[in-house]
Amino acid sequence: MAATVLYMSMSLDGFIAGPNERPDNGLGDGGLRLHEWVLTEPRDPDSGVPGRPAGVNGEVYDEMMATGAVLAGRGTFEPAGGWGGDHHGGVPIFILSRSGPPAQAAAWPLVTFLDDLGTAVVRAKEAAGERDVLVHGAGIAQMALAAGLLDEIQIHLVPVLFGQGRRLFDHLDATQVELEPIRVVEAPGVTHLRYRVGR
Amino acid sequence: MAATVLYMSMSLDGFIAGPNERPDNGLGDGGLRLHEWVLTEPRDPDSGVPGRPAGVNGEVYDEMMATGAVLAGRGTFEPAGGWGGDHHGGVPIFILSRSGPPAQAAAWPLVTFLDDLGTAVVRAKEAAGERDVLVHGAGIAQMALAAGLLDEIQIHLVPVLFGQGRRLFDHLDATQVELEPIRVVEAPGVTHLRYRVGR
């Protein structure tokens, strides 16, 4: 059975984007810092996806790329240019959107727009089959946590303080949610923390 | 030369206390959850300090107890009852306070109240000698970070989401501060992350 797994790069102080996010500044000021563990390694220009880093980071990257569907919100999808219609490996992409599909989406057969999170999770899990569902974005993470629809959390914890920006964990109720540590992996420039979400 | 080292237990979503902090609820609602890695282990009633946990957690605990001075703010000192005037091992305690010493402090010769952070850091480092200075509390951590007076950060990362409460990293400027990872230690119920603060 597919699990919904949040993959996010986060600063030690909890930010996943810098300040001043705009459509042309999707990661916010300095936000690229959080992705250096992927992006500063050599990239394969023919792969069609951001380059696979070497070593342990590559193994975690491979897990992300082995997911069988993508679930995100429109606030993640649009600044990323819709990943050109293919996030990785041609897997189906489910985008939560209250306002229906944007015009360019007609050219992207892998992308489905849905206005209900529960339906989106069911559809993504069906599409992923035996594989996991890659969940991406702070907004959908918060909604999925609140709805009890997030199964696992994979944080790429980056040794930097941002001070300001967009927090991953925000706008949640004062309800303690226990996490079960699955794995801690120290890697160059990042610590990968994986948890199962308690119910 | 002594280093100022922040020791704080923090939830994955960045909280070091639960909501509704009050003098009689110093850790906030449910805040004790963050200290279970220390407190659920057997305690030595004769030690005069909270009990030393077993195994790897005990080793990290020993490092904290080996510090040669304590630096905290009054917002940490008072809800903790001033640690009875002795945080650990009779080391000097420096409390940042704009309003002077409270009445009961006259009975606590280890405790010095100062109204300037820079002075407090200098005094604490002098007192600690070759040992480190234990820095404790969110308010003083934020002030020391902003002033460039924090040398290291030791986070005891607890696998729980709080949702609401007091954040450790808050009210900081939008200035990226690089951290140098020193050590990641997986331990029962907690992951210890130690960093050197970049300048």
Q: What is the DSSP letter of B28?
A: -
Residue A80 CB coordination number (10 Å): 15
pLDDT per residue of chain A (199 residues) written in tens, 0 to 9:
799 999 999 999 999 999 999 888 989 999 999 999 988 755 555 544 557 888 889 899 999 999 999 999 999 999 899 999 999 999 999 999 998 888 878 899 999 999 999 999 999 999 999 999 999 999 999 999 999 999 999 999 999 999 999 999 999 999 999 999 999 999 999 999 999 999 7
Q: Does residue B193 belong to the interface with chain A, where contact is any CB pair within 8 Å?
A: yes
pLDDT of B41 reads 56
Inspect the interface and report whether the beta carbons of A181 and B165 lie closer than 8 Å. Answer: no
ipTM for the whole predicted complex goes beyond 0.90: yes
pLDDT of A49 reads 52
Give A4-19+27-190's CATH code, choosing from 3.40.220.10, 3.90.25.10, 3.30.390.10, 3.40.430.10: 3.40.430.10
**Chain B: residue nearest A173 by CA?**
B163
pLDDT of B43 reads 54
Helices (H), chain A: 36-39, 55-65, 74-77, 117-128, 138-146
Residue A112 CB coordination number (10 Å): 18
Inspect the interface and report whether the beta carbons of A184 and B180 lie closer than 8 Å. Answer: no
Residue type, B54: A
Residue A9 near residue A158 (C-beta atoms within 8 A):
yes
Q: What is the DSSP letter of B126?
A: H
Inspect the interface and report whether the beta carbons of A164 and B172 lie closer than 8 Å. Answer: yes
| Domain boundary assignment for chain B | 4-19+27-190
Selecting from B29, B161, B176 the residue whose C-beta is nearest the C-beta of A161 gives B176
Selecting from B14, B160, B180 the residue whose C-beta is nearest the C-beta of A159 gives B180
Mean pLDDT of B129-150: 97
Inspect the interface and report whether the beta carbons of A181 and B186 lie closer than 8 Å. Answer: yes
Q: Does residue A35 belong to the interface with chain B, where contact is any CB pair within 8 Å?
A: no
Identify all chain A residues contacting B14, using CB atoms and an 8 Å cutoff.
13-14, 167, 169
Chain A nearest CA to B64, separation (Å): 21
Please state, in angstroms and rounded to a whole number, the distance separating the CA atoms of residues B134 and A3.
41
